[in-house]
Homo-oligomer: A and B are copies of this chain.
Amino acid sequence: MRVRLDLAYDGGGFAGWAVQPGLRTVQGVLEEALATVLGTGRRGEPAPRLTVAGRTDAGVHARGQVAHVDVSADAVAAARGRSDRDPFVALVDRLGGVLPPDVVVRAAGRAPDGFDARFSAVSRRYGYRVCDQYVRRDPLRRGEVLWRRRPLDVAAMDAAAHLLVGRHDFAAFCKPRPLATTIRTLEVFSWHRPDDGADAGLVVATVRADAFCHSMVRSLVGASLAVGERRRPVEWPAELLAAGARDAAAAVVEPHGLTLEEVRYPPDDELASRAERTRARREPGDVGELGAPDAEGCCG
């Protein structure tokens, strides 16, 4: 049985999503908790292995992460224990009792036919939060907001961002990897300063793409800050894109301002065909959500 898990985590205490020997990773902590709650070891079943939509880098957070795990129906039933609760409600509750407080399984359920958390996804949306005013600094959110001292020109940042939207080779904004494609479709890239809500007064980027390559969002944010602080003109990030070369002024900013907010999937009857198409588009050695399953932490 394939189970879909909806996840949130504070990336601050993790060396990213992907399991790495000797390091605390989200995947490692979750797989361990699942093994405990599902009792797979006790029943001699293979250890649960998670497949994730967005392999976040070290320090990057998630509120809308999605993963799947293939387990036996027996294992899911076992999570219920002797209660007559819905086994998925019981699974969420029992994981809540086992997981450390920086990882939450918000929901669990049987995945529809053809669902693959990674290959069925049509887009990933990230948010990046910056505070440029002392009066708006909230120490309680310092783990997810980048603090800057100079006031940001949000209109200039937004204008610069819009020039990057579309299908392009984002080599200028990606950590290079041998044989990896850096062509991506950037569907949304905008900056705004909300008047109200959770992010009132902050400067927030919304970045959505079919997939991201390594450090891409944080490099786009770095270029935006150079524009917002008037160190570079509005056209400069688009010029970098066209030149296809990395520039030190488009620095990869700190990971703690970055949060994976949402992963989108097509309607259920298109899940399998979407997964097939995504897999077919992969290139040898490709990284990121489109890439090799064992690629190290990505993206952002």
Chain A interfacial positions (CB closer than 8 Å to B): 6, 8-10, 61, 63, 92-93, 96, 101-107, 134-144, 147, 149, 196-198, 200, 259
What number of copies of this chain does the assembly contain?
A: 2
Cβ contact within 8 Å between A138 and B96: no
Cβ contact within 8 Å between A139 and B8: yes
A195 to chain B, nearest CB (A): 12
Secondary structure type dominating chain A contacts: mixed
Contacts of A9 in B (CB 8 A): 139
Name the 10 nearest CB pairs between A and B, nearest first: A198-B198, A10-B139, A104-B137, A106-B135, A102-B139, A140-B144, A101-B142, A92-B134, A10-B140, A9-B139
Cβ contact within 8 Å between B102 and A63: no
Evaluate whether A142 and B92 lie within 8 angstroms (CB atoms) in the complex, with A106-B135, A198-B198 already known.
no
Closest B residue, CB atoms, query A104: B137
Contacts of A149 in B (CB 8 A): 93, 96
A179 to chain B, nearest CB (A): 36
Evaluate whether A143 and B140 lie within 8 angstroms (CB atoms) in the complex, with A96-B149, A107-B135, A149-B93 already known.
yes
Cβ contact within 8 Å between A137 and B106: yes
A63 to chain B, nearest CB (A): 7
